[in-house]
Amino acid sequence: MTIIPRQTRALLQRLALIAGLAVLTGCASVKMPAPTPSAANAEKLRAAKLVPSQMGTFKVAADKPASLDTSLSGLRGSTISPTNGSFSGQLRDEIAAELGAAGLLDAKSRFVIEGQLTDSMVDAAMSVGKGRLAARIQVKRDGQTVFDKEIVAEATWESSFVGAIAIPAAINQYTALYKTFAGKLFDDADFRRALASPAP
């Protein structure tokens, strides 16, 4: 079972309330909240001692349908949309928010972080809900790739037959995957090596 970070609960609870009210009157259409940094990821970044980087292009992977970046099924007819129009953009903004809060964003850095969305799904099933977010992340230094790996964030949770319960829970869990993804990226040993600060 995946535990939603404490700092995101209040925001997700408000999101759930909106979704729950909409479900009671019909299909919900909810926009994801703008990314905000988390204390847990800030702690990871401080401990990692990384050099600043800049954010490059994030898009859907070339071998995936374009719809993967803009639509999400599995919510029993309800929908959730990313803040800026694409789920790859939502992921980019999430990573940028975390790096920015840690003072690790620099538009002039020789290091560039790019990404391609490879999976984005949620299933508000009758018994066990499932969610998955995956993307191939690259770090380039002076145009040369120094990190290239697919990062995957997944969650399962107890769902419900009742849509007014299951759908908000699924939306919360899917939204939380973006912070989970960022945390897994920052934990990755190869990612840390690619952006490691030089020894004094």
The answer to the question of residue 23 being in a domain is yes
Sequential pLDDT tens for the chain (200 residues): 555 556 566 555 555 554 444 444 346 688 899 999 999 998 899 888 999 999 999 999 999 999 999 989 888 888 889 998 999 999 999 999 999 999 999 999 999 999 999 999 999 988 999 999 999 999 999 999 999 999 999 999 999 888 888 899 999 999 999 999 999 999 999 999 999 977 55
Name the domain count of the chain.
1
The answer to the question of residue 107 being in a domain is yes
- How big is the chain, counted in residues? 200
The answer to the question of residue 111 being in a domain is yes
What sign does the CA torsion over 136, 132, 75, 80 have?
negative
Do the beta carbons of residue 173 and residue 122 sit within 8 Å?
yes
Task: Find, among 11, 182, 10, the residue nearest to 94 by Cα.
Answer: 182
CATH number, residue 76 = 3.30.160.150
The answer to the question of residue 175 being in a domain is yes
Q: Which two tokens mark 135?
A: 């993307």
Only one residue has tokens 């908000």, namely 168
The answer to the question of residue 1 being in a domain is no
Q: Which two tokens mark 123?
A: 């299933």
pLDDT for the residue 13: 59
The answer to the question of residue 180 being in a domain is yes
- The pTM for the full model equals 0.84
The answer to the question of residue 14 being in a domain is yes
The answer to the question of residue 119 being in a domain is yes
* Residue 127, number of CB atoms within 10 A of its CB: 9
pLDDT for the residue 163: 80
Q: Which two tokens mark 6?
A: 């404490």
Which domain range does residue 88 map to? 6-194
What sign does the CA torsion over 140, 94, 132, 27 have?
negative
- What SS3 state is found at 103? coil
CA 155, CA 70: separation in Å to the nearest integer?
Answer: 20
